Each structure stands twice: as structure tokens, then as C-alpha cells.
């Protein structure tokens, strides 16, 4: 059994689920539309350039979760899945997951987006496990604070290695990792089968330099 690791946003999805959730909140009137959209767009641009201030971004992005109870959040997420995620699930991404499944590989998504957003998406895609940014909960509510190391940039390597300690049958020795983003270069460098998927310009240049495989899952 090999380990097949997948980034989520703009890899298996043709969108960024974190940014899409922000747009969804604007549509619901749950945030100040103009200010939130401006900040959400700016943070996405910073992420794409590999210079995101994660702490500042999460302070904004997690605040709405602290202001509403689970019943409202669950209802919103169901609408979000239908309107913002299902149309962006890539058919060729699902085919790739199926190919690894037939090989008997263990399918793992590792994402810099939080578990509230990505948990239902990972379940929908039928992967075996998910590593995501974890959010603290107290008294049945989100606090807006992080738990543990965020799975972002080098943090993905840290989280994967910690996760592997509880997985005696799995290693990175024959692992695959699929990603679109230069932010994931650190984990791509750790696996023998790195694959750049519809990569951004910086990752494409690195993939060409390192002779990594480059593929497209877009139609």
C-alpha cells in the first residue's frame, strides 16, 4: 500500500474552497460584504504569491464561525456544498482518486484550509483521511483559535510526519503528492512521486527545473 497525498484547493477542486466560503458568507449577509470581500480577495492574492500572513488571514476567516452555532453553520455548509463545491469537483480528479483506489493506495488530503470547510468535502470525495487546519472548540462553539500546527507550507510536512507516527504501514518512501501551489514545494520535495497539477507559474518553473511530472485535471 502506497500513500497518495492530495492538496485540495485548485487541485481536486477547480476553486479555492476557503475563498469560496468567504464569498458564500457575503451572499448570506453574514459579514460586511464590501470589507470582507476586499480582504478575502487580498489574502487569496497573497496566498498565490506565497506570502500569506496566515495568522492575519485566520483571524478574519475564523471569526464568523465564532458568531454562529452549529445548527446555522451546518445549514450554511450544506448550501455551500451544493452551490459552491459540487460544481467545482473535477471529474478527472475523481478519476485520479479512483485510479489510486484500484491500486490499493491510502488516499489522504492535506490542506491549509480548516476542517470545518474541508471535512465534508473530503467525505464527499471518499478519501481515507484528512489533515487540515484545526480550530479550537469550547462549550460546543468555535473559539476562532488554532489547535496545533497549521497544515500550511512547511507545516504540511510537520503534520504529515506526526500523522505517520500513528500509521505503521505507511511511509513517504513511495508516496505521491499532487498539488497546484508553490506553497507546497516543501512536501513535494519530500516524496519520490511529486506531481504538479495545473500549477501556478512559480510551481511550474520549479517542476520543470526539478523534472517533476506536470499534469492537468481540467477539461
DSSP bridge partners of 194: 177
Q: Of 123, 131, 128, 124, which Cα lies nearest the Cα of 101?
A: 128
174 in catalytic set: no
Neighbouring C-beta atoms of residue 22, cutoff 10 Å: 24
What is the dihedral sign for C-alpha 179, 18, 170, 146? positive
* Given the residues 9, 105, 184, 200, the one annotated as active site: 9
Nearest 5 degrees, angle CA 123-CA 129-CA 131?
105
46 in catalytic set: no
C-alpha cell at 176: 505521491
* Given the residues 7, 105, 180, 184, the one annotated as active site: 7
d(CA 209, CA 67): 46
Enumerate the active-site residues.
7, 9
Amino acid at each position: 500500500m502506497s500513500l497518495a497525498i492530495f492538496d485540495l484547493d485548485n487541485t481536486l477542486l477547480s476553486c479555492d474552497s476557503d475563498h469560496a466560503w468567504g464569498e458564500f458568507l457575503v451572499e448570506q449577509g453574514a459579514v460586511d460584504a464590501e470589507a470582507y470581500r476586499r480582504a478575502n480577495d487580498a489574502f487569496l492574492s497573497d496566498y498565490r504569491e506565497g506570502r500569506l500572513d496566515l495568522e492575519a488571514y485566520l483571524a478574519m476567516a475564523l471569526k464568523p464561525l465564532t458568531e454562529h452555532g452549529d445548527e446555522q453553520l451546518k445549514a450554511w455548509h450544506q448550501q455551500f456544498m451544493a452551490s459552491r463545491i459540487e460544481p467545482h469537483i473535477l471529474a478527472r480528479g475523481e478519476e485520479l482518486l479512483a485510479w489510486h483506489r484500484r491500486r490499493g493506495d491510502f488516499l489522504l488530503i492535506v490542506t491549509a484550509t480548516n476542517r470545518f470547510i474541508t471535512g465534508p468535502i473530503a467525505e464527499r470525495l471518499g478519501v481515507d483521511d484528512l489533515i487540515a487546519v484545526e480550530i479550537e472548540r469550547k462549550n460546543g462553539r468555535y473559539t476562532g483559535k488554532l489547535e496545533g500546527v497549521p497544515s500550511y507550507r512547511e507545516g504540511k510536512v510537520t503534520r504529515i510526519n506526526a500523522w505517520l507516527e500513528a500509521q505503521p504501514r505507511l511511509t513517504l518512501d513511495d508516496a505521491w503528492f499532487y498539488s497546484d501551489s508553490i506553497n507546497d514545494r516543501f512536501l513535494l520535495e519530500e516524496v519520490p512521486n511529486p506531481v504538479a497539477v495545473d500549477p501556478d507559474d512559480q510551481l511550474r518553473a520549479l517542476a520543470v527545473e526539478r523534472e517533476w511530472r506536470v499534469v492537468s485535471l481540467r477539461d
